[in-house]
Amino acid sequence: MEFTDVLKNRVSVRKFTNEKVDENNLRLLIEQAMLAPSVANSQLWKFIAISNSDLLARMSEMVIAKYDELLEGSQAEMKARILERIKLFSSFFVDSPMVIACISEPYESVIDELAQQTGYSSEEINQFRNHPNIQTMGAAIQTLMLAAENIGYSTCWLTGPMVAKSELEEVLEIHHPDSLIAFVAIGKAAAKPSPKERKPVEEKLRIIR
């Protein structure tokens, strides 16, 4: 597919057919995702591809339970409304043929060691540097999604389920210092929404000459 068509055709898809994701295709997608840039070429990404429907159901229940816990005590009507949206946006992955959990290894450089001697914690240093591990994961996730589009798969990036991050990490056996960053739901689109309109470039670009 033409690169511009890949960019234009990619939309977030939340309804998939039952068709499974072929494991050779999955390997190709991960190989292509790993062509993304990474901070200091750390390649700090890891992926877990989950197609087991019982496990997906457990994961989705954990997310719903966490939102219930978080919203306990809020006004009943508002809670019902919020929960409706949350169910759609944070747990629809339960019905997708595959979910790819995207995991970051910690990024540590020489600067960390030096800065820690001045009393800063690694969290503070990471914040100063604008979270290079998260940015690296974003690059890989977007590359994965475009690679998927290119071979006829649709995707949706999800951070909504991360409210239950620690519970999900436990069930997926992701151990500290690795950290779960996002899910990508993937499959063949049952219904592909039309692309959302983008704001004009003039509104978003400032050129300093």
Ligand X SMILES: Cc1cc2nc3c(=O)[nH]c(=O)nc-3n(C[C@H](O)[C@H](O)[C@H](O)COP(=O)(O)O)c2cc1C
Among 47, 89, 108, 188, binds ligand X (CB under 6 A): 89
Instruction: Confirm or reject binding of residue 143 to ligand X (CB under 6 A).
Output: no
Instruction: Confirm or reject binding of residue 160 to ligand X (CB under 6 A).
Output: yes
**Between residues 23 and 37, which has the closer beta carbon with respect to ligand X?**
37
Q: Which stretch binds ligand X (CB under 6 A): 7-15, 21-29, 37-45, 67-75?
A: 7-15
157: tokens are: 């990036």
Instruction: Confirm or reject binding of residue 11 to ligand X (CB under 6 A).
Output: yes
Instruction: Confirm or reject binding of residue 32 to ligand X (CB under 6 A).
Output: no
Chain residue at closest Cβ approach to ligand X: 160
Q: How far is the CB of 193 from ligand X (least distance, A)?
A: 7
Helices (H) and strands (E) in the chain, counts: 9, 4
Place of tokens 């990404």: 45
Give one DSSP letter per residue of 6-28, joined into a string: HHHH--B---B-SPPPPHHHHHH
Among 38, 90, 136, 150, binds ligand X (CB under 6 A): 90
Q: Supply angle C-alpha 64, 173, 105, rounded to 5.
A: 105
Instruction: Confirm or reject binding of residue 157 to ligand X (CB under 6 A).
Output: yes
Q: How far is the CB of 44 from ligand X (least distance, A)?
A: 18
Neighbours of 158 (CB within 10 A): 22
Among 196, 199, 204, 206, binds ligand X (CB under 6 A): 196
Instruction: Confirm or reject binding of residue 12 to ligand X (CB under 6 A).
Output: yes
| Distance separating the N- and C-terminal Cα atoms of the chain | 36
Instruction: Confirm or reject binding of residue 50 to ligand X (CB under 6 A).
Output: no
Q: Which residue type occupies 125?
A: I
Neighbours of 148 (CB within 10 A): 25
Instruction: Confirm or reject binding of residue 158 to ligand X (CB under 6 A).
Output: yes
83: closest CA among 101, 70, 67? 67
Integer-rounded Cα radius of gyration of the chain = 19
Residue ranges binding ligand X (CB under 6 A): 11-12, 14, 89-90, 156-160, 196
